[in-house]
Amino acid sequence: MTCSCCSDNRPNLLETYPEKRQKLDEYISKLDLGDDMERRKGFLIGCLHEAQHIFGYLPREVQELVGKRLRLQQSDVYGVISFYSFFTDQPVGKYKINVCTGTACFVRGADKILEEFKSKLGLEEGQSSADLKFTLTSIRCVGACSLAPVVMVNDRVYGNVTAKMVPEIIKNCE
């Protein structure tokens, strides 16, 4: 994983959105952290969920803030973010297109759907478009196996998707 935050001229999220920073600060202030370092770590994943919910992703300055407030090593914070697929340190597009590649979707042709999205959007798996409109990812089983193959765009679920429906799904994002 490359570090994008030091090399580009991306604005610092904490400075750009002071109200979001305040929201995260307030969330952490309410936690009963205590003095035991091991047990303080137990709050880390919850804080990161909250932070990603507020900011959309977890750039370096947000990671640092969480680490500082929980009095944890920066490596502990980054170690958790890089381990769990739910967390991302890259900006995410407005429309997050998730193609389910669970087993039921796989046997019903999810690979073809993914290929179609890749070619129509010109993106590889895990990439976002330059204008941050789309992010294309494959996810593991959303549990809607009866509707396989399934595509989720943000919270909207499309079931029994065929390659022919792909342009329509992209158009619905306009």
Partner 1 sequence: MLINNPEQLSALTLDLKKKADKAAKIQILVSMGTCGIAAGATPVFEAFKKEVSRRGNNDMKVLSVGCVGLCHSEPTVEILNVETGKSTIFGNVKPDQAAAILDGKGEQIKKSWYFPEDEKNPGDCLQARIVLRNSGRIDPESIDDYFLRGGYQAMAKVLTSMKPAEVVDMVTVSGLRGRGGGGFPTGKKWSIAAAQTSEEKYLICNADEGDPGAFMDRAVMEGDPHALLEAMVIAGYAIGARHGIIYVRAEYPLAVKRLQLAMDQAREYGLIGKNIFASGFDFDLNIKYGAGAFVCGEETALIRSISGMRGMPIYKPPFPAIAGLWAKPTIVNNVETFANIPAIIRKGAAWFKTIGTAGSPGTKVFSITGKVNKVGLIEVPMGTTLRNIIFGLGEGIRNGRKFKAVQTGGPSGGCIAEKSLDTPIDYDTLKALGSMMGSGGMIVMDEDDCMVDVAKFFVQFTMDESCGKCTPCRVGGRQMFGLLQKITSGDGTLEDLDTIKDLAHAVKTASLCGLGMTAPNPVLATMACFPEEYRAHIVDRKCPAGKCTNLISYVIDPEKCTGCTLCARKCPVGCISGKVKEKHVIDQNKCIHCGACYEACRFSAISKQ
Residues in contact with partner 1 by the rule CB under 8 A:
38-46, 48-49, 76, 79-80, 83-87, 102-104, 106-108, 139-148, 150, 157, 159
Identify whether the C-beta of residue 33 lies closer than 8 Å to the C-beta of residue 88.
no
| Shortest Cβ 34–partner 1 spacing (Å) | 12
| Shortest Cβ 9–partner 1 spacing (Å) | 30
Identify whether the C-beta of residue 118 lies closer than 8 Å to the C-beta of residue 111.
no
Of 11 and 42, CB closest to partner 1: 42
Rounded to whole angstroms, the Cα distance separating 119 from 138 reads 15
Of 16 and 85, CB closest to partner 1: 85
Ramachandran sector of residue 14 (left: φ over 0; alpha: ψ -120 to 50; beta: rest): alpha
| Shortest Cβ 121–partner 1 spacing (Å) | 17
Identify whether the C-beta of residue 164 lies closer than 8 Å to the C-beta of residue 146.
no
Of 18 and 86, CB closest to partner 1: 86
Of 10 and 112, CB closest to partner 1: 112
* Residue keyed to tokens 């590649």: 101
